[in-house]
Structure 1
């Protein structure tokens, strides 16, 4: 058996984790008024870096991709990567003991892999087997593990310490990332990134136009989305949310007192 080599994305995640370990302590002196975001100074700087990279690199590529790619090809590529992602969804279904959903998602994967031409055609949705979104971060949250403070990751975006662990686990479990030679996996990851960014162009425009403080808009949207998905569309009431915020305050994180 050939030794499998993970693609560049896994090494990127490792580099991100190292940079966070070295950089967060120095950024804790920045001010914040949101108990979920004690590292706001670091996070704003990283988001600014990510936004600049997106404006000058990713967004132009995504727009060009949309122009040159026929809509049916674009849809097929998205469907293919969604089908591969369903492998991780099934695994997290099992980890969360969602056995009925496991059966449906397994059926969806098998139908799209066979009748859907390796996933390029979403046949399963036509027979009411719609895609579910489960990942390791949601699984850890369902197990009761706190998310920790808000954390913006270089090149990745909004997350938390729990989310970073989940991302690393999801990346390692994705079968494409273990294809040999690694160049194939890297090329596939690059295509997926561009395709995903192209699909989010309209959402980015909404975020830019609908918010006074884009950073706060993205942060709040991230927590709302995570909370919604972890609780399967039934997030806890406000009293329960306040209890969750109390857990943030118990974290051993220095809270600054001075505003820049």
Structure 2
């Protein structure tokens, strides 16, 4: 079984952009821990080209024919139907209280929220807290490994890439339905196509952040790593962990010097720099 189609959305997301801001303004050291950078950049360029040719035009059209309320309901539905993935990983992480809370959130939105179209659980004090099999592996001590840019799937690491087959095959409700029902004309993919378009439409307003970045690939790579760090520590990573990742814990830290080193490193190793997307 292939990963759910909604996973094929390039992760140029609001969450990644927000993670950069949450992690502070310190300058990160040159990323010499990206040995696959040459290949990763080519894959990034491919994903970006696909996004401009297919996903973004579809998302723009989707926004034109829907209202904000309709789009919010669609997003609420798919967010809620994915909660069993989080609950399963809560249990694998030996976190029964989180599993119980997310189970409650799922059933409240499924019933009171009219099938998940609305989100009364958040107003009742049950905020959305997602996790996945990559975070499960991290909690049991598996190192993240090299950063990899996956075709269609977007940024990941050697560890995190396992969340696609494991979560997609064993825990995803839509995938389980497809495994146990016959579909003659690919009906299984229709709701997932809608989900991908819905998610991509949410990113249009945030595109300016990526377009104005000095190096969009490096921005996305480091934002992904920071987002995963925040997920691992439930949004509150220790200060020393952040400082280590950003390099500010090193003796003689000089942000101006590191910024210059960062520019030199990226200029030496960049093979291409995608042009900004246009409407």
Band of TM-score, shorter chain: 0.7 to 0.9
- Tell whether 2:81 aligns with 1:80: no
Please report how far the alpha carbon of residue 98 of structure 1 lies from its aligned counterpart in structure 2 after TM superposition. 1.8
1:37 — aligned with what? 34
| Partner deviation per Cα, 1:178-222 (whole Å, 9 max, x = no partner) | 33334232112111111111112222322212x111111111100
1:49 — aligned with what? 46
1:131 — aligned with what? 128
1:3 — aligned with what? none
1:214 — aligned with what? 216
Give the structure, 1 or 2, with the largest relative contact order (CA under 8 Å, sep 6 or more).
2
Please report how far the alpha carbon of residue 238 of structure 1 lies from its aligned counterpart in structure 2 after TM superposition. 3.7
| Equivalent residue for 2:204, pick from 201, 213, 221 | 201
- Tell whether 2:191 aligns with 1:188: yes
Kept in 1, the 8 Å contact 2:6–2:195? The answer is no
RMSD: 2.4
| Paired residue total | 222
Shift in alpha-carbon separation, 1:107–1:225, aligned structure 2, 3 A: same
| Equivalent residue for 2:174, pick from 173, 176, 179 | 176
Secondary structure of the residue that 1:134 maps to in structure 2? coil
| Equivalent residue for 2:225, pick from 207, 213, 223 | 223
Kept in 2, the 8 Å contact 1:142–1:230? The answer is yes
Please report how far the alpha carbon of residue 97 of structure 1 lies from its aligned counterpart in structure 2 after TM superposition. 1.8
Shift in alpha-carbon separation, 1:109–1:11, aligned structure 2, 3 A: closer
Secondary structure of the residue that 1:79 maps to in structure 2? helix
Normalised to the residue count of structure 2, the TM-score between the two structures is 0.73
Kept in 2, the 8 Å contact 1:108–1:129? The answer is yes
Structure number with higher helix proportion: 1
Task: Flag as ranges the 4+ runs of structure 1 deviating above 4 A.
Answer: 10-13, 239-243
Secondary structure of the residue that 1:155 maps to in structure 2? coil
Secondary structure of the residue that 2:149 maps to in structure 1? strand
Shift in alpha-carbon separation, 1:218–1:44, aligned structure 2, 3 A: same
Distance 1:214 1:12 in 2: 23
Distance 2:118 2:241 in 1: 44
Distance 1:155 1:73 in 2: 27
Distance 1:62 1:39 in 2: 31
- Tell whether 2:152 aligns with 1:155: yes
Please report how far the alpha carbon of residue 133 of structure 1 lies from its aligned counterpart in structure 2 after TM superposition. 1.3
Please report how far the alpha carbon of residue 10 of structure 1 lies from its aligned counterpart in structure 2 after TM superposition. 5.5
Distance 1:139 1:219 in 2: 21
**Structure 2: gaps (5+ residues):** 8-29, 248-267, 272-279
Normalised to the residue count of structure 1, the TM-score between the two structures is 0.78
